[in-house]
Structure 1
Amino acid sequence: MRHLPPLSAVRVFEAAARHENFTSAAAELGMTQAAVSYQIKSLEQRLGAPLFRREKKRVVLTDAGRRAGAQVSHAFDGLDAAFAGIRAEGSALLTVSTSTTFANTWFAWRLGSFQMAHPDMAVRLHTSDAVTDFAADDVDCAVRSGLGVWPGLISERLVPIDFTPMCSPQFLARHGGGLTPDDVHHLPVIGPEDPWWPVWLAGAGSTPPGPPRRGVRLDSQALEGNAAIAGQGIALLTPFFWRNDLESGRLVRPFAHVATQGFAYWLVYPEHRRLVPKIRQFRDWLLREIAGDFADTMARTEPRC
């Protein structure tokens, strides 16, 4: 039976001994200097011997620390070699979980540019409206909708979730070519059970506010938008996702009012994996692409009032 100290502390000691500097070790491990100091102190207490000598503005390895540091570093080299093949295989595949709407209205159009920029990395989209369990699912990162607070995860805001009614030009023409918010109560509506209908109607000044009662019921905004393009009714959609259809004239916005409940889409990934290269590469690409698309959307999705 091996009597090993906690491997988390050993890992911190190896980095600190190699650099002989707590600040450099903290930067390498993505920790604070205080956390490194705490781990070293805990290890020293467990071993009953000092590993570093604290001097003015620096730390110096003791003789025991220097002997242990060399052996631990060699052991870590062996571990690194043992897992190299598995790590190389894992780095070649990035698995991203996302909702049906985000996958169909954005990822499907843009993911090819990431693949071209990283030809050695395969990308697998896991499309589901269920919330990813990073502890159980084989997923590297995810795009989630919500308020951005998930314990244990880093959340980076992508785009706000706002919404306004949209329909096809033909549908608008069949209903007089111009609408008021009160007209929505009497129109065929796609997704009438959507809880954001009352929010938009109230904000637009409709009286009495309330959800429309009739229309097609579908499972996602991606399906609702396509049904609206087909002229089946008026749908409550997010302009960012439908900017190309608005620009091409497949969809129109009859109203200027856009509502929001403060929700957004977020890129999320576990805190302990924030330095994984493939996640960092995907994160940098996604934030850059989203920022460009969002700025473009603001200029291209003006309503047809």
Structure 2
Amino acid sequence: MMRQLPSLAAVRVFEAAARLENFTAAANELGMTQAAVSYQVKSLEERLGAPLFVRERGRARLSALGRQLQPALTQALDAIEAAFAVTRAEDEATLTVATTQTFANSWLAWRLGGFQVAHPDLAVRLTTGDRMLDLGAGEADVSIRSGLGDWPRLEAHRLMNIDFTPMAGPRFLAQVEAELGRPLQPGDLAELPLISPEDPWWDSWFAAAGVAPGERRRGGGLRLDSQANEGHAAMGGRGFALLTPVFWTNDIAEGRLVQPFATLGTRGFAYWLCYPPERRTVAKVRRFRDWLLARFDEERSR
């Protein structure tokens, strides 16, 4: 059933004027002109068909009807304010970050603890997946996305370029080079097991390495849905995976992966921090943005 409610704007104005018993004071509280307050009260009186105030010089005294309505309306507006205050407090206390599984597992999860130590009052909820959440609809506060940075109605900050190069587990690479009887060359990969061999990014890397497209064997091979899974498959000796070096720094340093070539491929993509422009001054968004950009600046300067 449709609610039979008067204008909530008029109710709000009446409540302030009734509580203060002064139109000028109500106008100051609400950031309105006195004329606007008078107009809203008059419109409510016309709807009710009875006066809410007895006008006196310098004072608006409540009528009997006004005295009857004022306590209930004040209580109702207090309840509405409290409900929104709880929601606002919950929203301000939790930051929801959406990103890909690869970025989360290979970079963000390792560093997110530093943000929470710096901001112990703010809980962080990390959600991963390839679906782009609707930030405008509030599905997440911020998103870290891969692409060209041209998403409509979003402010985007470039974090890092996405480049890539083949990597493998050290035992697998040693076995391959033993069979070849020499160090691995880029052209050799055309006939060796590749992880996700149908990924078009392989073509970009082979082109950067000077390997003609027709030389590469296609089909077969293990196919996985994320770079995170591909990297772990490479560690397990399943073949060469095309990986972004910055995501695998620890694994390379600790000997779980080997990067045999310095050649990097790129398709012009980058990772971006995104959020709706109207959210740029929200405290939790600003704090996370400043921390994240500072971390990337720090790591680039090393």
TM-score (norm 1): 0.71
Deviation at 1:108, TM superposition (A): 1.6
Task: Give, in whole Å, the separation in 2 of the partners of 1:150 and 1:109.
Answer: 27
Deviation at 1:85, TM superposition (A): 2.9
Show the counterpart of 1:101.
102
Change (3 A) 1:267 1:80: farther
Deviation at 1:69, TM superposition (A): 6.0
Show the counterpart of 2:201.
196
Match of 2:291 among 272, 285, 296: 285
**Does the residue aligned with 1:120 lie in a helix, a strand or coil?**
coil
For the 8 Å contact 2:190–2:215, the answer to whether it is kept is no
For the 8 Å contact 2:231–2:241, the answer to whether it is kept is yes
For the 8 Å contact 1:95–1:124, the answer to whether it is kept is yes
**Does the residue aligned with 1:189 lie in a helix, a strand or coil?**
coil
Of all paired residues, the percent bearing the same amino acid is 53
**Does the residue aligned with 1:250 lie in a helix, a strand or coil?**
coil
Task: Give, in whole Å, the separation in 2 of the partners of 1:180 and 1:231.
Answer: 18
Show the counterpart of 1:205.
210
Match of 2:267 among 255, 261, 267: 261
Match of 1:184 among 186, 189, 192: 189
2:238 equivalent to 1:232: yes
Deviation at 1:68, TM superposition (A): 8.2
Change (3 A) 1:252 1:103: same
For the 8 Å contact 2:162–2:270, the answer to whether it is kept is yes
Provide structure 2 residue ranges, at least 5 long, that are not aligned to the other structure. 1-5, 11-23, 38-77
Q: What's the Cα RMSD here?
A: 2.7
**Does the residue aligned with 1:84 lie in a helix, a strand or coil?**
helix
Provide structure 1 residue ranges, at least 5 long, that are not aligned to the other structure. 6-65, 297-305
Task: Give, in whole Å, the separation in 1 of the partners of 2:222 and 2:300.
Answer: 29
Show the counterpart of 1:83.
84
Residues 1-305 of structure 1: matches in 2 within 5 Å?
1-2=6-7, 70-73=28-31, 83-176=84-177, 178-207=183-212, 208=214, 210=216, 212-296=218-302
Deviation at 1:115, TM superposition (A): 1.2
**Does the residue aligned with 2:237 lie in a helix, a strand or coil?**
coil
**Does the residue aligned with 2:256 lie in a helix, a strand or coil?**
coil
Residues 166-219 of structure 1 deviation map (CA, whole Å, 9 limit, x = unaligned):
111211111116211211111111111111001110121113354643321111
234-243 or 283-292: bigger deviation:
283-292
Residues 46-95 of structure 1 deviation map (CA, whole Å, 9 limit, x = unaligned):
xxxxxxxxxxxxxxxxxxxx9886142499xx887763332222111111
**Does the residue aligned with 1:175 lie in a helix, a strand or coil?**
helix
| Partner amino acid, structure 2, of 1:180 | Q
Higher Cα Rg, which structure: 2
**Does the residue aligned with 2:207 lie in a helix, a strand or coil?**
helix
For the 8 Å contact 1:100–1:128, the answer to whether it is kept is yes
**Does the residue aligned with 2:132 lie in a helix, a strand or coil?**
coil
**Does the residue aligned with 1:83 lie in a helix, a strand or coil?**
helix
Task: Give, in whole Å, the separation in 2 of the partners of 1:214 and 1:276.
Answer: 49
**Does the residue aligned with 1:190 lie in a helix, a strand or coil?**
coil
Change (3 A) 1:246 1:295: farther
TM-score (norm 2): 0.71
Deviation at 1:128, TM superposition (A): 0.8
For the 8 Å contact 2:115–2:291, the answer to whether it is kept is yes
**Does the residue aligned with 2:97 lie in a helix, a strand or coil?**
strand
| Partner amino acid, structure 1, of 2:224 | L
**Does the residue aligned with 2:146 lie in a helix, a strand or coil?**
strand
Task: Give, in whole Å, the separation in 2 of the partners of 1:73 and 1:164.
Answer: 60
Deviation at 1:136, TM superposition (A): 3.9
